[in-house]
């Protein structure tokens, strides 16, 4: 994972998983998400769970996991999408997904 000071692009993914997954399946999913930071074009990666912030109308913390990946640009993002690292994650874990929402955005300097 390389570092840069350029704003770049953020790829933010929210996962709602199927009910009834075992602790081992959840641990495997978490490890799989952490493995995504090893994809060559990923500059930074953050894996998280919903924060226990106070409930407000504008806050949606109904998801199970979140993933934020930072890229130099759209080309780097596109390379990630077809990277063996990403494809393996999808192959290994997509059966656990109930809902996935992706938000891609350019970062402002």
31-78 pLDDT, tens digit per residue, is 999 999 999 999 999 999 999 999 999 999 999 999 999 999 999 999
| 18 CA to centre of own chain | 17
- Encode pLDDT of 65-95 as tens digits: 999 999 999 999 999 999 999 999 999 999 9
66: CATH: 3.30.70.100
Residue 109 within a domain:
no
Domain that holds residue 20: 9-51+61-104
State how many domains the chain has.
1
Task: Confirm whether 65 is domain-assigned.
Answer: yes
Residue-wise DSSP of 39-64: STT-SEEEEE----PPP-TT-----S
Q: Is residue 13 part of a domain?
A: yes
């Amino acid at each position: 994972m390389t570092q840069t000071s350029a704003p770049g692009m953020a790829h933010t993914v929210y996962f709602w998983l199927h009910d009834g997954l075992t602790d081992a399946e959840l641990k495997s999913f978490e490890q799989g998400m952490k493995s995504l930071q090893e994809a060559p074009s990923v500059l930074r990666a953050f894996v998280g769970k919903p924060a226990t912030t106070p409930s407000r109308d504008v806050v949606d913390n109904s998801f199970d996991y979140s993933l934020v990946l930072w890229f130099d640009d759209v080309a780097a993002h596109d390379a990630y999408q077809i990277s063996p690292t990403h494809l393996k994650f999808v192959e290994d874990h997509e059966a656990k997904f109930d809902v996935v929402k992706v938000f891609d955005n350019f970062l402002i300097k």
